[in-house]
Amino acid sequence: MKKILISEWVPEECLAPYKEDYDFTCPSREKHAFSYDEVYEMIEDYDAYFILDNEGDKKVIDRAKNLKVIANFGVGYNNIDWKYATEVGLPVVNTPTTVTEATAEHAVALLIATMRGVARYDREVRRGVWNSPNFSDIDCEVYGRTLGIMGFGRIGKMVCKKAQGLGMKVIYFDKYRASQEVEKEYNVTYMSFDDVVKNSDCITLHMPYIPENHHIFNAEVFRAMKDSAYLINAARGPIVDEKALAKALKDGTIKGAGLDVFEDEPNVEPELLELDNVTLTPHIASCTLKARMGMCREALGGIIGVLEGKKPYNVVNPEVLK
Tens of pLDDT, residues 188-227: 999 999 999 999 999 999 999 989 999 999 999 999 999 9
Residues 106-135: what's their mean pLDDT?
A: 96
Q: How confident is the model at residue 65 (pLDDT cuts 50, 70, 90)?
A: very high
Centroid of chain to Cα 235: 4
Query: How far apart are the C-alpha atoms of 114 and 109, rounded to whole Å?
Result: 8
Q: Catalogue the active-site residues.
A: 236, 265, 283
Query: How far apart are the C-alpha atoms of 72 and 88, rounded to whole Å?
Result: 18
The pLDDT tens digits for 255-306 are 999 999 999 999 999 999 999 999 999 999 999 999 999 999 999 999 999 9
Query: How far apart are the C-alpha atoms of 162 and 33, rounded to whole Å?
Result: 35
CB atoms within 10 A of CB 65: 10
Report the pLDDT value the prediction gives residue 94, as an integer from 0 to 100: 96
Q: How confident is the model at residue 76 (pLDDT cuts 50, 70, 90)?
A: confident
Phi, psi of 199 (to 5 degrees): -100, -5
Residues 319/88, Cβ–Cβ less than 8 Å: no
Report the pLDDT value the prediction gives residue 133, as an integer from 0 to 100: 87
Report the pLDDT value the prediction gives residue 143, as an integer from 0 to 100: 98
- Strand 48-51 and strand 69-72: pairing? parallel
Query: How far apart are the C-alpha atoms of 70 and 82, rounded to whole Å?
Result: 9
Which CA distances in Å does 315 have to 52, 92, 101, 236, 304?
A: 17, 6, 21, 20, 12
Q: How confident is the model at residue 155 (pLDDT cuts 50, 70, 90)?
A: very high
- Best CA proximity match to 149, nearest among 99, 197, 208: 197
Residues 104/153, Cβ–Cβ less than 8 Å: no
Report the pLDDT value the prediction gives residue 85, as an integer from 0 to 100: 97
The pLDDT tens digits for 168-182 are 999 999 999 999 999
Share of the chain above pLDDT 70, in %: 100
Query: How far apart are the C-alpha atoms of 307 and 8, rounded to whole Å?
Result: 21
Centroid of chain to Cα 150: 13
pLDDT of 53 > 90? The answer is no
Average pLDDT, the chain: 96
Query: How far apart are the C-alpha atoms of 300 and 120, rounded to whole Å?
Result: 40
> C-alpha dihedral over 181, 187, 190, 193, to 10 degrees?
-140
Query: How far apart are the C-alpha atoms of 271 and 44, rounded to whole Å?
Result: 42
The pLDDT tens digits for 139-148 are 999 999 999 9
Q: 31's torsion region: left (phi>0), alpha (psi -120 to 50) or beta?
A: alpha
Share of the chain above pLDDT 90, in %: 96
